[in-house]
Structure 1
Amino acid sequence: MAIKKLGLVPRLLLAIFLGIIYGQLKFLPSLFFTIPVTLSAFFSAILSFIIPLMVVAFVVSGISDLSAGAGKLLGLTTGLSYLSTIIGGTVTLVVISYLFPLILNQQTGEITAIEAAIDPLFTIPLEPILDVTQAIILAFLMGLGISWLRQQGTNRGTVIHQFFADFSNIISYLLKYLIVPGIPIFVFGNFVNLSYSGSVFYVLSAFWKVYLIILLLHWIYMFVWFSGAGLYSGKQPLQLIKNQLPAYLTAVGTQSSAATIPINLETAKKNGVSEVIRDFVIPFCATAHMLGSITTITSIVYAVLLLNQMPVSFASFLPFIFVLGVAMVAAPGAPGGAIMSALPFLGMVGIDPSGTLASLLISLYLTQDSFGTALNISGDNAIALVVDKIYHKHILKDSID
């Protein structure tokens, strides 16, 4: 009963702490580790199935509820998401091009790829009806179409609009009573696996300087982005950051921007973002805004090139960053999705996408993917604040006038 009374943040912290401790009890029979990993895998399968439905439900409802300016809102949110991602990647490149040569040994690195740890007892062949990218595109088309229909005359589009409104309510019910309560269990199983394998401790011992700089950049960006959004929207930046903590910790545990959507929606509500804007912007930015991911990928790729004494230059990295800003939109919302989307473009900086260094980059990225994801979803709420202000101050006002 006492655990149920705890807020989400304490439960997530407890799940992370207990998962790390539990994973170190290696004197226990293997079954004791397989059970939590299996439960986590089971929850992950259900989550993966619901995520596209969640995107469709919220984005369609969000766009179709707009009385005017749906196309402008879509363009504004897309532009801000891409601009934020590119700015983060470029600033990161400037910082690490100065710091990394000072802190990294210029000898060939001896970091090896991380081995898999515990496999679940069984997996459920539960394939999502749509992948996240397909869900986003479908939601755009349906939302814009319903919004257009509702502006054509009395009762036009009423039935289909109500269908998606009810669908959104059903998904909200599932999130409240199934997904959110299950997230700490999911996080616990993930950290049991990470702790048991020792992968986090191993990579940190060899790569801790790089990770420290990445983490500092994440926190600086989070403060700067919320400061800017707070000043523009008239909100207190420190209060915005405080409101973000539950979603931040959820992202740290789940390693998925999409899986954090329900918690991030609650954060946007606390921040005073209107329902019509948050229901559109938060699910959309979960796949389109990759501030944390591009910061991490740029850093680890640059570091690996330095450690292996390979050519590295600002001129070769800048086009890589601009391409990543688009490519990562295809990331499926699952752990490691961003680095998988980046693999085909590693040749732009001199790395074979199918070689051993690419495998190493996947391992290095996955080890700290949690924090990159946490910055991604934090930036989503900063964007939501800006979009909400612009929409009500300019787009909606201009449409009424």
Structure 2
Amino acid sequence: MSKILIHLKRIPLLGRVVIAIILGIMLGQFVPVWFARIFATFNDLFGNFLSFFIPLIILGLVAPAIGELGKGAGKLLLITAAIAYLSTLFSGFLTFFSCQAVFPKIITGTIDAASVQSIEEGAIKTFFSIGMPPVMDVMSALILSFCIGIGLSVIAGETLQKAFSDFRDIVTMIIGTLIIPLLPLYIFGMFLSISISGQVYSVIMLFLKVISVIFVLHILLLLIQYAVAGAVSRRHPLKALKTMLPAYMTALGTSSSAATIPVTLQCALNNKVNPNVASFVIPLCATIHLAGSAMKVVGFSLAIIYFFGMAVDFPTFVGFIFMVGITMVAAPGVPGGAIMAAIGIIQSMLGFDEQMIGLMITVYIAVDSFGTACNVTGDGAVAMIMDRWAAKVGNQ
């Protein structure tokens, strides 16, 4: 058994998710009810823990991120952060309007939410359930995070900043060592339930259609980013984008912007970005510039809304996209970290239930590495823009 666990740990998260989906679909065709109830109970407990932990994720990630963002290297930091945020917003709105035009044509059917909803309400009942009420609701956590983060960026004291940095380390540790490793088991239980309900074909077709659309939008986003960066820096955009391909390919393998920093930095230098600018902008953007991740969050959220037959409210999505840009700044540097940071606002602003959140996490992780690759490649475009700005300021 220990050897099996060691081998499983060596499989990348995406591989474990794919295995979980396939096993869930296959076993759902013939397993007895008592077997399904075991995983129904696990999913209920895991879902309750997620609901409890989401406000703590927001508080532990957003507050110190905002606090640290206000204590950097002056104008260079602020302008880089502003460009990164605008790029993320553009990605979100590009995704929303593109998907609004495409999804109604390709998502022609809706799923019966009642048949795959809370397992207690369906044919598969849990053996037991443990309530885990959160210490605060999501909106309270967001407001408190903003207040503390802005306060930390203004005051001179370091004690509270250090305390929240330690709290962030605890939250990141729980995400990386508990939540992310257990996600494949949670996804297995969810697809086991969906397979038993007879709606697995509809869900798989949703995945394939939506993933295809988001992949095309990723390419379009990178072309736009480098067209702008090329115009600002007066360099050939396609040549610059080609130079960043090693970073793109590395990120596909690591699924981590932080782990890809050395390659991204070298690619930026190969694009003739000033070493001082590149060494500042690339590591910073690995944390705050997650345009590809924002695209997936917005696109997949919209797809699930259509899939469950819910109404699309444009004003709500406008606010949602602005909030996604902020939460992406706080996303931890682990595979699947961006979706963990965004769950709170998806739940509070879009009204997703546990089943919809589960599908959201599954489809997000299925293409997590492509979003990361888009993120790090876009960092090179930001570096080119900042290089031009720094040169212009230096000549004045």
Instruction: Say whether the fold is shared (TM-score over 0.5).
Output: yes
| 1:327 aligned residue | 327
Residues 217-261 of structure 1: CA distance to partner in whole angstroms, max 9, x if unpaired?
A: 000111111122112212222211211111101111111111111
Asked if the contact 1:312–1:349 (Cα under 8 Å) also holds between the matched residues in 2, the reply is no
Asked if the contact 1:289–1:329 (Cα under 8 Å) also holds between the matched residues in 2, the reply is yes
| 1:348 aligned residue | 349
109 and 81 in structure 1: CA distance in 2 versus 1, 3 angstrom threshold: farther
Cα distance in structure 1, aligned partners of 2:278 and 2:88: 19
Structure 1, gaps ≥5 residues long? 1-28, 42-58, 64-69, 114-136, 142-189
Is the aligned partner of 1:95 residue 2:98? yes
Asked if the contact 2:282–2:380 (Cα under 8 Å) also holds between the matched residues in 1, the reply is yes
Cα distance in structure 1, aligned partners of 2:84 and 2:325: 9
Asked if the contact 2:282–2:383 (Cα under 8 Å) also holds between the matched residues in 1, the reply is yes
Residues 153-181 of structure 1: CA distance to partner in whole angstroms, max 9, x if unpaired?
A: xxxxxxxxxxxxxxxxxxxxxxxxxxxxx
Compute the displacement of 1:31 (Å): 5.0
Cα distance in structure 1, aligned partners of 2:238 and 2:220: 13
SS in 1 for 2:367: helix
Compute the displacement of 1:32 (Å): 8.0
Compute the displacement of 1:40 (Å): 6.9
Letter in 1 for 2:111: T
Compute the displacement of 1:74 (Å): 0.8
| 1:393 aligned residue | 392
Asked if the contact 2:110–2:307 (Cα under 8 Å) also holds between the matched residues in 1, the reply is yes
Cα distance in structure 1, aligned partners of 2:340 and 2:395: 42
| 2:255 aligned residue | 255
- Identity across the alignment (%): 39
Cα distance in structure 1, aligned partners of 2:287 and 2:267: 18
| 2:362 aligned residue | 363
Cα distance in structure 2, aligned partners of 1:313 and 1:40: 37
More divergent stretch after superposition (365-374 vs 32-41): 32-41
| 1:236 aligned residue | 236
40 and 343 in structure 1: CA distance in 2 versus 1, 3 angstrom threshold: closer
Letter in 2 for 1:367: A
Asked if the contact 2:261–2:282 (Cα under 8 Å) also holds between the matched residues in 1, the reply is yes
Compute the displacement of 1:35 (Å): 3.7
SS in 2 for 1:258: coil
SS in 1 for 2:352: coil
SS in 1 for 2:281: helix
Letter in 1 for 2:395: K
Asked if the contact 2:268–2:383 (Cα under 8 Å) also holds between the matched residues in 1, the reply is yes
Q: How does 1:187-336 map to 2 (within 5 A)?
A: 205-336=205-336
Compute the displacement of 1:37 (Å): 3.8
Residues 62-93 of structure 1: CA distance to partner in whole angstroms, max 9, x if unpaired?
A: x8xxxxxx411111101000000001101111
Asked if the contact 1:255–1:369 (Cα under 8 Å) also holds between the matched residues in 2, the reply is yes
359 and 279 in structure 1: CA distance in 2 versus 1, 3 angstrom threshold: same
| 1:107 aligned residue | 110
109 and 271 in structure 1: CA distance in 2 versus 1, 3 angstrom threshold: farther
| 1:22 aligned residue | none
Q: Runs of 4 or more off by more than 3 Å in structure 1?
A: 29-41, 109-113, 202-206
Asked if the contact 1:256–1:373 (Cα under 8 Å) also holds between the matched residues in 2, the reply is yes
Is the aligned partner of 1:71 residue 2:94? no
Cα distance in structure 2, aligned partners of 1:204 and 1:275: 46
Cα distance in structure 1, aligned partners of 2:251 and 2:116: 26
345 and 237 in structure 1: CA distance in 2 versus 1, 3 angstrom threshold: same
Compute the displacement of 1:206 (Å): 4.2
348 and 386 in structure 1: CA distance in 2 versus 1, 3 angstrom threshold: same
Cα distance in structure 1, aligned partners of 2:269 and 2:385: 14
More divergent stretch after superposition (75-84 vs 328-337): 328-337
Cα distance in structure 1, aligned partners of 2:277 and 2:8: 37
Compute the displacement of 1:39 (Å): 8.5
205 and 112 in structure 1: CA distance in 2 versus 1, 3 angstrom threshold: farther
Cα distance in structure 2, aligned partners of 1:372 and 1:207: 15
Cα distance in structure 2, aligned partners of 1:39 and 1:336: 15
Asked if the contact 1:93–1:314 (Cα under 8 Å) also holds between the matched residues in 2, the reply is no
Compute the displacement of 1:38 (Å): 3.5
Compute the displacement of 1:34 (Å): 4.2
Letter in 2 for 1:223: L
Asked if the contact 2:107–2:206 (Cα under 8 Å) also holds between the matched residues in 1, the reply is no
Letter in 1 for 2:219: W
| 1:380 aligned residue | 379
Asked if the contact 1:85–1:291 (Cα under 8 Å) also holds between the matched residues in 2, the reply is yes
109 and 283 in structure 1: CA distance in 2 versus 1, 3 angstrom threshold: farther
Cα distance in structure 1, aligned partners of 2:2 and 2:100: 45
Asked if the contact 1:109–1:304 (Cα under 8 Å) also holds between the matched residues in 2, the reply is no
305 and 39 in structure 1: CA distance in 2 versus 1, 3 angstrom threshold: closer
Cα distance in structure 1, aligned partners of 2:320 and 2:330: 16
Compute the displacement of 1:112 (Å): 7.8
Asked if the contact 1:286–1:380 (Cα under 8 Å) also holds between the matched residues in 2, the reply is yes
215 and 221 in structure 1: CA distance in 2 versus 1, 3 angstrom threshold: same
Letter in 2 for 1:72: K
Structure 2, gaps ≥5 residues long? 14-67, 118-148, 154-180, 192-200
